Each structure stands twice: as structure tokens, then as C-alpha cells.
Amino acid sequence: MSSSTPGWSAVPQAASAVGPIPARRTARLSVGRVLLLGLAVVVMLTCAFLVLMAIGTDTGPTGFVTGLLFSLVPVGIVLPALLWLDRVEAEPIGQLLFAFGWGALVATFVALVVNSYSLAELTRHGGSVSTAAVVVAPWVEETCKGAAVLVVLLWRRREFDGIVDGIVYAGLAGLGFAFTENVLYLGRSLQENGTAGLATTFVLRCVFGPFAHPMFTMATGIGLGVAVQTRRAWLRVVAPLCGLVVAVLLHGLWNLSAVAGLRGFVGLYVAVQIPVFAAAVGFAVWARRREARLVGQHLQVYVRSGWFTPAEVAMLGSMTERRRARAWAAQVAGARGRRAMRGFQAAATELAFARDRATRAALSEEGQAIERDLLREVTAQRWAFVGG
């Protein structure tokens, strides 16, 4: 650290006048929420059992275990990228696991049933497997995966703040779906074509396309993120629908490349998939930086009222300065200080996004209560490391 007493170590006027106060109490779950949570667990466990039976029957024990192990490779590539994107305002771990689990279990099972039925009906009426893969499957799968983001939005509206959250939840749902699908395709390739088939499928799905399913579903997540942030009623409907259509088109192009032969795959991959991936990465980075700027922008009102110092707001708007602040808090108050600084940063960020929501609508009584709770938590966490 360049200084033992950085600018954000001072206690601002309002917090100094209030003094150390206890952090807010954790909200208790209502009976209805407990029942819905229990229902979600039962649905996921049921889908897990059915998916396990379906894949195990298709691949056999050896193919299933092999596919499971090789499918972890793209998870290790995509998951850190999504968690990095989520660092400005980290989402609750339970909701992240829910999005991944929905994609891996519920979306996969529903898509497996609907796709199988659609394929049977198409072939009965003279259609082909390629038609089902390019036209039907993208609509089914993107709707199933996108539903995970919608459920999180409806279930925990307070934690869903905009585009970045939509990208993260959609990416995790897509990653979960791709994980289960990879287990099936890798295990089936080993069962039918031996190690050569396994290697080919691994290269195509896990090396060339680890971001494919997450990237498709991110379009739906962006649409829902726009809907959350806009004041226009029509855009709240149009944006998610447009996001879903874009996701379906991207998915359909990917499936088209898979059935177009080697030259078709390479051509579409270079002409379409690489530019789309580059654009998606650029947009995600821009959205993350925009979130950090919003934190600094919306906390200014609390500087004027004495709840934050200007140096604190500057620190909260920079990921580099946040790391420096946690290191300083650890020097001052050890592990307890680092935890307190991390909690201070999280509560302050949540406060900024609560203020962002308030700028788009009149601040309700519930919103005022949330604001007071967050200010109490910010103050309590600050005293834990400044007091130390």
C-alpha cells in the first residue's frame, strides 16, 4: 500500500454521527417461498433422475463416466469468465447454482422430451433430422434455457439489476445445458465410434464451441436485463422477445454448421461464430465497466448527505482500488477486516443499484426500507475495519 491511512479509511459525517450499529437482520423466508423452494428442489431432483436414466441408457456406464469427465473441461473454461464478469456486484451463490442446475437438469430434460417428439412427428410427415436440428431444436432449447433467467428475475427481483446479471444467469443456464448435452454426445460417440469418435466430438464441442450454448442464451439474458432497466412498458415486452429471437437465430446457425459438413462448419465458424463471439465478449466487458461507473454515479447522492466520503466512492467504482482496499483492511484488522471491507463493498454496490432502480420509479416504502437497511449495513461493516 502506498499509504497506511488511505482516503477511504476516514469515517464520513453521517456514519460518524450515528456511530457503530449492528448489521441488518437477514430476511426470513415466507411460507410461500419455502414451499416454492421445496417444489423447485423436487422438480430438479426428478429431472436429474430422469436425465441420468436417459443418458445412462444411451451411453452405457463407461460412456457416461467418460463423457462426464470430458464435459468438465469446457465448464472450467467458461465458468471463471462468467464469475469474473459478476465481480462488480456478485450474485448470491444459491441463485447462480439454480441457473446452472436449471440448464443442466430441467431445460435438458424438457428439451430432450420435446425434441424427441418433434423429430418423430417431422419424420412421420416426411421431414428430416437436419430440419429438426436447425428449425425446431433452437426454439425449444433457447426457450427452456431462457426460462431460468426469467424465473430468477421473478423470484428475486431485488437481486436482478440489469444487463450484466442477465448475461451471467443466462450464461450459467447455457453452460449447465451444454454440460449435460456434452455428457450425452461424448458418451454416445465413445459407445458408437470408439476413441476416434470421442476425440472428434470433444474437439468440435469442447474446444471449438465451449461458449456456444452460453453465448446463445446470453442474448435472452440481455433482453431481460434491458427490460429490467427501462421505463418504457413496450420495451419490457419487446426486448426479451428480441433477445430470444437472436438466441434462436444464433443457435440455428450453429446447428446448421454442424450438419453442413466439414467445409460448411469451418466456413460458418470463421464467418459467423468468431465475429459473434468477439462481439459478445466486447459487449460483456462494456457492460461490466458500465456497472462500475453506475456505482460511482449513484453513490454521489450519499456523499452529499454525509454517508460516504468522495474517496470511498472513487474506490468503489474501480475494481483495482477495491482489491487495494481489501488488502489495506487485512493489514489493519486481519481476516476480520478483509471480510468487513468485502461486506462494505457488497452492501455499497447493492445500495447503488437500489438507487438506480429508484431513479426509474418513485421510491416505495419497501424501497426506503431497503435503503435504510443497506445504509445500516454499510455503516456496520465500515466500523468493523476502521474501528480496528
Tens digits of per-residue pLDDT, 24-39? 555 555 676 778 778 8
Tell me the C-alpha distance between 347 and 371, whole Å: 10
Judge whether residue 3 has pLDDT over 60. Answer: no
**C-beta of residue 218 within 8 angstroms of C-beta of residue 173:** no
Mean pLDDT of 350-369: 77
Is 10 within 8 Å of 309 (Cβ atoms)?
yes
Query: Average pLDDT of 293-310?
Result: 88
Burial of 170 (0-12, 13-18, 19+ CB in 10 A): buried
- pLDDT value of position 14: 63
162 close to 146: Cβ distance less than 8 angstroms: no
Residues 6+ apart with CB under 8 A from 26: none
Residue 22 has pLDDT above 90, yes or no: no
Query: Please, what sign has the CA dihedral across residues 149, 153, 154, 155?
Result: positive
Helix H or strand E encompassing 83: helix 31-85
Q: Which three cell numbers stand for residue 251?
A: 443457435
Distance CA 144, CA 2 (A): 51
Average confidence (pLDDT) over 340-366: 82
Q: What is the mean pLDDT of the chain?
A: 87
- E strand intervals along 41-103: none
- Please answer whether residues 107 and 177 qualify as being in contact, where contact means their C-beta atoms are separated by less than 8 angstroms: yes
Mean pLDDT across the stretch 231-256? 93
Residue 1: the pLDDT is 42
Mean pLDDT of the region 232-254: 94
Q: Mean of the pLDDT values across residues 227-253?
A: 93
- Residue 364's pLDDT is 64
The torsion angles phi and psi of 256, rounded to 5 degrees, stand at: -60, -40
pLDDT digits (tens, 9 = 90+) for 249-293: 999 999 998 888 778 888 888 888 889 889 988 998 888 888 888
- The pLDDT of residue 149 is above 90: yes
| Domain range annotation of the chain | 31-259, 274-388
Cα–Cα dist 46/261, whole Å? 37
Do 226 and 167 touch, CB atoms closer than 8 A? no
Q: H or E segment at 93?
A: helix 93-101
Residues 135 and 252: beta-carbon distance below 8 Å: yes
Q: Does the pLDDT at position 2 exceed 50?
A: no
Residue 20 predicted with pLDDT over 60: yes
Cα 303 off chain centre by: 31
In this predicted structure, which of 123-127, 147-151, 298-302, 317-321 has the lowest mean pLDDT? 123-127
Q: Position 21: which residue type?
A: I
Q: Which cell numbers hold the place of 330?
A: 487485512
Q: What is the CA radius of gyration of the chain?
A: 24
> Length of the chain in residues, anyone?
388
pLDDT digits (tens, 9 = 90+) for 151-207: 999 888 777 888 999 999 999 999 999 999 999 999 999 999 999 999 999 998 999
Q: What is the pLDDT of residue 8?
A: 61
Q: Report yes or no on whether pTM surpasses 0.95.
A: no
Task: Tell me the mean pLDDT in the region 218-230.
Answer: 93
Q: Answer positive or negative: Cα dihedral of 216, 219, 220, 221.
A: positive
For residue 363, report the phi and psi dihedrals to the nearest 5 degrees: -70, 110
Q: How many CB atoms lie within 10 A of CB 90?
A: 15
Q: How far apart are CA 223 and CA 248, in angstroms?
A: 13
* pLDDT surpassing 90 at residue 119: no
Distance CA 218, CA 234 (A): 21
Q: pLDDT at residue 387 above 80?
A: no
How much is the average pLDDT of 123-132?
82
Tell me, what's the pLDDT at 5? 58
pLDDT of 132 reads 85
Confidence of residue 362 (pLDDT cuts 50, 70, 90): low
**Per-residue pLDDT tens digits for 43-90:** 999 999 999 999 999 999 999 999 999 999 999 999 999 999 888 878
